[in-house]
Amino acid sequence: MKSIFTILLILVVFTAKAQFAGGAGTAADPYQISNRAQLEALGGFLGADNIDKHFLLTADIDLGGDKWTPLAIIKSNPFCGKLHGAGHKIKNLLIEEEFPTSSMLDYVGLFGVLGGGVSVDDLHFEGVITISAGASIYAGSLAGYINPDNAESINIVKCSSSVLITCSTSGSAASNFVGGIIGFAELHGNNLTISKCANTGNISGTGSMVGGIVGRVFTSTNGAVLISDCYNNAEISSTKASGDTWMGGIVGTPYQGDATSAPITIEKCFATGKVEANAANTSSRVGGIVGRIYDISGSVNPITISNSVGAQESVSSGGTSTTAANRIYASHSSGGNYSITNNYGYVGMVVLRSGASATITSSATGAGGLNKTLAELKSRSTYTGLGWDFTNIWQIEEGLSFPTLKGVGGSTGIKTAPVVNTLKASASNGILRITGLVAGETLRVYTLQGVNIWSRTVKSLEQNIPVQGHGIYIVVAGEKHVKVVF
């Protein structure tokens, strides 16, 4: 006769299988997820007891624009499992809430909180997150907060987001920690790796610590953080009128808690979307890659930014000092341990400090990075000189685009710095009419998802192009580009 324990175990396994399309939850045979209900079932596998569970998306999942309640919203009960996206998308993610006097939903994303041992790979997000509250908000497309309850490593690889995120708070002491992928990663002895991730969704609101990939990274003793081979080409803005506001194209602030805190390394990253703080906020710190480096005086381990490129049209802060805004990072703590090596900045980037355009020193080891022209930033050799891998990780359309990640969704890679733009486009009756062309230049039309639907050498000053379906198109001719809504 089977024991009661054996019978209960069989019932648990059977119940788990019934929630998914198949699988046994192992690495070799993960639970299979193909629809919203099965995705929601992840909420039944939280905490460190499920650290060994594997889940696999077997199809794109369209959430249909119906509101999504983040999974794992309790800080002490995070998701710790292994989620494999297999290149699929979660579409129409919609998180939309308003809490005027408090925040009933502190941690916002597909997941509220991720824990130690979690691994998420090859997963892509589309949608909208809009939160208004009277208390602090932690928000990112994948997760609002990483809060390990054990010492296991955390890995986030090949994830991308085009989610539009708007987070606003009204409380006087409230802060917003917002990132395209992760809002706030707080680590206590863990290793964290975020690699080959991209963000193309604009971030706005009253953010305090905001980054294209991660808003804030905090470390204490032991472990290490590596953020590598990531890019952001979305715009980041904050209307916060006063108080610490640290904003970066990749990370808002890498932050060490004490002198023995773990090292934080940001390398081989790229950012183009402009970063803009409230012009009245004199405490804002804005950088093309990182806003403020918060390194503790006497720190044993460094915060490092290396082999990265700030290529924004502009970055702007309400502060007036030289540490208010710059092309790579804005400021760092006095007496701390930090390392800045082999970084480049777009020579035409407008750096605004309290509305005034700043003169930037060209230095590969400085806050402004080494000067690079637009043509250089569209050449593979610029990046191979920094050790970037164009065989397995990066791709570039030589002379035409900035680099993007192979197999990571969402971006055209064609967002450029400002040039004299005579290009105009209009749409009606299934036709895109493009004027302001120059004979001999290459004309390309992309969908917002990065699909090239037209590519020809221009022979006249205008071109009519038939298109099917309404949407947003990006028209590129030489170094000029324009967006048209059809």
Domain ranges of the chain: 19-405, 424-485
* Mean pLDDT of the chain, nearest integer: 88
Return all residues near 3 (Cβ < 8 A) that are at least 6 apart: none
Mean pLDDT, residues 6-20 taken together: 53
Sheet architecture: strand order including 480-485? 452-457, 442-447, 472-477, 480-485
Going by C-alpha positions, the residue among 112, 277, 312 that lies closest to residue 206 is 277
DSSP alpha helix (H) spans, 207-325: none
Q: Which of 25-39, 134-148, 160-174, 198-212 is the least confident region?
A: 160-174
Percent of the chain with pLDDT over 70: 89
Mean pLDDT, residues 444-457 taken together: 69
Separation between Cα atoms, residue 96 and residue 76, nearest integer Å: 24
Mean pLDDT, residues 453-482 taken together: 76
pLDDT in tens, 357-414: 999 999 999 999 999 999 999 999 999 999 999 999 999 999 989 999 998 864 433 3
Return all residues near 151 (Cβ < 8 A) that are at least 6 apart: 116, 189, 190, 222, 223
Asked if pLDDT for residue 10 goes beyond 60, the answer is no
Mean pLDDT, residues 221-229 taken together: 93
At residue 198, the pLDDT reads 97
For residue 363, what are the β-bridge partners?
Answer: 369
Going by C-alpha positions, the residue among 289, 295, 294, 273 that lies closest to residue 367 is 289
Given CATH 2.60.40.10, say whether it is the number of domain 424-485.
yes
At residue 132, the pLDDT reads 87
Identify which has the larger pLDDT, 89 or 65.
Answer: 89
Asked if pLDDT for residue 264 goes beyond 90, the answer is yes
At residue 162, the pLDDT reads 93
Asked if pLDDT for residue 2 goes beyond 70, the answer is no
CATH topology of domain 19-405: Pectate Lyase C-like (2.160.20)
At residue 18, the pLDDT reads 64
How many Cα atoms are found within 13 Å in the side-chain-facing hemisphere of 39? 24
- The band of 448, judged by pLDDT with boundaries at 50, 70 and 90, is low
Phi, psi of 167 (to 5 degrees): -130, 125
pLDDT in tens, 101-159: 666 678 999 999 999 999 999 999 999 999 988 788 999 999 999 998 788 999 999 99
DSSP secondary-structure letter at 140? -
Return all residues near 341 (Cβ < 8 A) that are at least 6 apart: 304, 305, 306, 307, 364, 365
For residues 17-51, b (16+ Cβ closer than 10 Å) or e, as one string? eeebeebebeeeebbbbbeeebbebbbebbbbebb
At residue 419, the pLDDT reads 39
